[in-house]
Structure 1
Amino acid sequence: MTGRPLLTRLLFAAVTATLLGCSPSGQDSQAGKTLKVTFFRDNTTLVSLDPFQVYWLEHRVVLRNVAESLTDQEPQTGNIIPWLAERWDVSENALEYTFHLRKDVTFSNGTRFDAQAVKTAYDTNKAFADQLPATFGATYLKGYDHAQVLDDFTVKLVLAKPNAGFLQATSTTNLAILAPQSYALSVKERSLGAIIGTGPFVLERYTPESGLRLTKRKGYAWPSANAQNKGEAHLDAVDVSYVPEESVRNGQFVQGQVDILWPRNPFSEVDLNLFKSRGATIQSRSLPGPALNMYPNTRGNRILADRQVRLALQKAIDRKTYAATVYNPQFPVVSGIYDVTTPFYKNQADKLAYDPQGAERLLDEAGWLGKKCRRL
């Protein structure tokens, strides 16, 4: 939003990790305003406002403005940079990560951010992950064992076994740190918004399937180097509404009732042309990480247990045609197992090319020749 008046409506066609994290700046910033955002309907069986539990992308973006992490990740280089931790040391065996914390940070309830708060957060999350391994944040705590408080502002995170991705994990929203008082509450209470963070906004209210409101926190002054604004938020508040019907969301945006429209699915070509004709700013960005999380059943004598069959299935998918038909001709086609914004991304488009003859050959080699099966 930098360089544009707040009242200029912004349209987000896919995903940007800085939706609410950036603010108008310079002469164009208009302090004292409320930003209005609309999401599609939240699913209360999956949605949580506890950073460690949250799966829903939209809520992770919201939470990044409430709860912060030990580190951050520079989006262009992929480098891990300081945030709530000023610096860190990693032992030679990669089992001990010692973080030296900032001394000027407080939670929104006035509680000091310190080593004990970090220990409470990480150890509470580990206990929950042990109890419910399927919780989304558990992925980032692989190998984590416990935390040791070395002094008020130095904490050591100890792993039982090495995890090459652990330092990067400390930069994620899922490992954002809440105030100890939040962890004294039940898991359900945190899911429903009883959270206290160190971020530039405070979660004022959350009504499932209706909306939420963030309000500005006064005195905030410790963003990561990724943030352009080094002080308090320019906005007074952010109102988020959940609207299930796409036509209603689009209508609200076109009529100027909301400033940002954030859909889950890509817009149709017709809608894109309409928004462009109204002067909307369209931003689209894929998220770093795996292009798709899919876990095929490869056990025993299942069809996909055979690697040749899995490779055949890969070759039989006409991704370009599907993308153009289901979404629009400009929709990007996946070109690797990781999205293009992932640090050290490697283009693997040649391995994902549509090759029906190759798929047929692999199926024949896998023993499907002459069998009564239907090839799709």
Structure 2
Amino acid sequence: MHARTPKRRFLAAAAVTASAALVLAGCAESQRGDNTGGGTDGDVDSTFIFAASSDPKTLDPAFASDGESFRVSRQIFEGLVGVKEGTADPAPLLAESWESSEDGLTYEFTLKKDVTFHDGTEFNAEAVCANFDRWYEFEGIAQSESLAYYYGKLYRGFKDKPEDAVYESCEATEDHKATVKLKQPFAGFISSLSLPAFAMQSPTAMEKYGADEISGSAEAPTLSEYAREHPVGTGPFKFDTWNVGENIELSAYEDYWGEQGQVQKINFRVIDDPVARRQALESGGIDGYDLVAPADVQSLKDAGFNVMNRDPFTILYLGLNQANEELKDVKVRQAIAYAIDKEALVKQTLPEGTKTAINFIPDSVNGYTEDVEKYEYDPEKAKQLLKEAGYEDGFTLDFNYPTGVSRPYMPTPEQVFSNLSGQLEEVGIKTEAKPQKWSPDYLDQIQATDDHGIHLLGWTGDYNDTDNFVGVFFGGQKPEFGFDNPELFKALSEARQIPDLDEQTPKYEEINTMISEYVPSIPLAHPAPSLAFSERVTSYPASPVNDEVYNQIELSE
């Protein structure tokens, strides 16, 4: 096996500065010509160039939790379950159908036939079980939040500590029928399988290239050879190359079971500066980009570019880490909530169509309720609460925020930081700026250690289930928030096992009220992310959960 490049070298390659990005945009026209190659469909240039805001964290979706990793993996991999076009609701994909037992513990999947992985391995029930067993059998740092984030949060336990595990077993009962058994009911099981983290991967490739050979630490894991160079799925595009800090190239899989569409080559070009992304589009160097800065939307429309918004299915929040002494006091957490003018934050830093947030779920998700503590902007009340907590003269907190990235819930993190830090200072809370590059430094520090203060993060919902938001955030102890609340953990665990929606809804409403009173963090807004494309992109499969596969793109030239 080839050893991974040392981390310091890897990160140096990934660090694209704003000035370099501007140069990239300036010469984008010639670079685009270098990448189109012979990829044409009749009179249509079939190479699609998309500007990513950062490198993916990994090419192995089982170890990913970030949007840029999933943007790439959705092209390469497919799961048993997908989503209905334009919605967050589950739909058949590699599984044509499924049946469940009355107790919610057994699921039989009937699989699509004549499907192969990109390495020629047959997709069948044995491959399905190999993937389920792989997740369950993760060991050591593979179980950490910085790696198996989704499996740990949703399926709760691994083979070496099965007490809390949701998964029990998978059996290939026929060549194209797989039976999955759970140890406890999980109402969101089918919906959860639409997550890219649970995509089907080639058992042959994972074994050949050591997919589970991970070293380093949870804070700084070293990617396997598979995750860097050999990801293999059943999707419409296969992996070609990853030039860290520059681009990722994919090409159409010639034996794909579905329709390939017009796009035959994809180039994900890393441009971390939002100004440079816009300039690259304007100069013709790229075909599109995500997370358009709010200030750029109208000017791009006026110039004839296609700008569209996804339906909001996001949450931006201010994380509060109770490992910090001041934040252990609920009065301090409440004071911070009252100190924030969410209306001003949205108006000044977030896209048109963004809604202020009072829950950690959008209003379209089951369990949303107005019956919560809303913490309407009241700086005087914030000062009073700080006085009652013994901080009349204020205090200073580290304020961690990411740089060199735009996220669907936070297109301009530096602006959000500046806005919020100014508001907090008005009530006596000074902040020490702690900027960090998004991947891997920021995510690893926030999610895998308690060495941080208040921080900016958020979530783009993966499927239409309340647990996918509040359960992921607050379902158990985690370094990001640093608190232990057994009552909340128990309530969330019980709610996720209730299969009847009418019975489940009031439970989640109670939980959202409980969260608002406890203030583990502060929900800020539900942004509506914008995308921009060249005129030649006549149709793009915009999805509230970012389930956007590029064989569905339509091009005019």
Is the TM-score greater than 0.5? Answer: yes
Match of 1:126 among 126, 136, 161: 136
Judged with a 3 Å threshold, the aligned counterparts in structure 2 of structure 1 residues 353 and 74 are, in CA distance, closer, same or farther, namely farther
Structure showing the higher helix proportion among its residues: 2
Shift of 1:363: 4.7
The partner residue of 2:210 within 186, 190, 197 is 186
Q: Which of 310, 323, 327 in structure 1 is aligned with 2:346?
A: 323
Q: Which runs of 5+ in 2 are unaligned?
A: 1-40, 157-165, 212-223, 396-427, 430-557
2:391 and 2:46 mapped to 1: Cα distance? 68
Q: Provide the residue aligned with 1:137 in structure 2.
A: 150
Q: Identify the structure with the greater strand proportion.
A: 2
Q: Which residue of the partner structure matches residue 177 of structure 2? A: 154
- State the 1:146 CA deviation: 2.9
Q: Give the aligned partner of residue 201 of structure 1.
A: 237
Candidates 296, 299, 306, aligned match of 1:274: 299
Mapped partners of 2:193, 2:364: distance in 1: 17
Question: Structure 1 CA distance, aligned partners of 2:249 and 2:198?
Answer: 22
Where in structure 2 are the equivalents of 1:1-150 lying within 5 Å? 33-42=46-55, 47-74=57-84, 78-128=88-138, 131-134=142-145, 135=147, 136-138=149-151, 139-142=153-156, 143-150=166-173
Q: 1:210 aligns with which of 246, 254, 277?
A: 246
Cα distance change on mapping 1:274 and 1:246 into 2, 3 Å: same
Question: Is 1:335 matched up with 2:361?
Answer: no
Whole-angstrom CA distance in 2 between matches of 1:29 and 1:336: 51
Contact 2:346 2:356 (C-alpha < 8 Å) held by counterparts: no
Moved more, 251-260 or 128-137: 128-137
- Per-residue deviation, 1:87: 1.4
Is the CA contact (8 Å cut-off) linking 1:29 and 1:234 kept in structure 2? no
Partners of 1:267 and 1:215 lie apart in 2 by 29
Q: Does 1:373 align with 2:391?
A: no
> Within 2, Cα distance between the matches of 1:183 and 1:346?
40
Give the conservation status (yes or no) of the 8 Å contact 1:36–1:260.
yes
Task: Note closer, same or farther for the CA distance 1:52–1:248 as it changes in structure 2 (3 Å cut).
Answer: same
Q: Deviations over 1:143-178 (max 9, x none)?
A: 223322222111122223333322211111110111
Amino acid at match of 1:311: Q
Tell me what 1:285 maps to. Answer: 310
How far did 1:322 drift? 2.1
Task: Report the RMSD for the aligned CA atoms in angstroms.
Answer: 3.0
Identical-pair percentage: 24
Instruction: Give 1:115 shift.
Output: 0.7
TM-score between the two structures when normalised by the length of structure 1: 0.77
TM-score (norm 2): 0.53
Residues in 2 aligned to 1:268 and 1:77: alpha-carbon distance in whole angstroms? 24
* Residues 253, 259 of structure 1: 8 Å contact kept: yes
AA aligned to 2:267 is D
C-alpha spacing 1:84/1:292, structure 2 compared with 1 (3 Å): same
Task: State the one-letter code of the partner of 2:170.
Answer: A
Q: How many residue pairs end up in the alignment?
A: 330
Structure 1 residues 129 and 74, CA, compared in 2 at 3 Å: closer, same or farther?
farther
What is the CA distance between 1:117 and its match in structure 2?
A: 0.5
Structure 1 unaligned runs (5+)? 1-27, 223-230
